[in-house]
Amino acid sequence: MRERYDELGSGWDLLVIARPAAAQATYADLREALTNVLRRTEIGR
């Protein structure tokens, strides 16, 4: 999340919930998943 903080639009609260499968994911996988979510929503600039 810290890497993507500057990409967040102002006025948003963001809750990230790690699902059990996240325990097996690599850091790169998690970073990519977060990037994809931000791209699909109004949250990311």
What pLDDT, in 10s, does the model give residues 1-45?
A: 778 777 777 787 888 898 999 999 999 999 999 888 888 887 765
Other Cβ atoms closer than 10 A to 31: 14
Compute CA distances 38 → 1, 2, 7, 10, 23, whole Å.
11, 13, 8, 13, 21
Looking at residue 44, its pLDDT comes to: 65
Q: How far is CA 33 from the centre of its chain?
A: 6
Looking at residue 45, its pLDDT comes to: 59
Looking at residue 27, its pLDDT comes to: 94
CA distance 13 to 25: 25
CA distance 23 to 32: 15
8: tokens are 């967040």
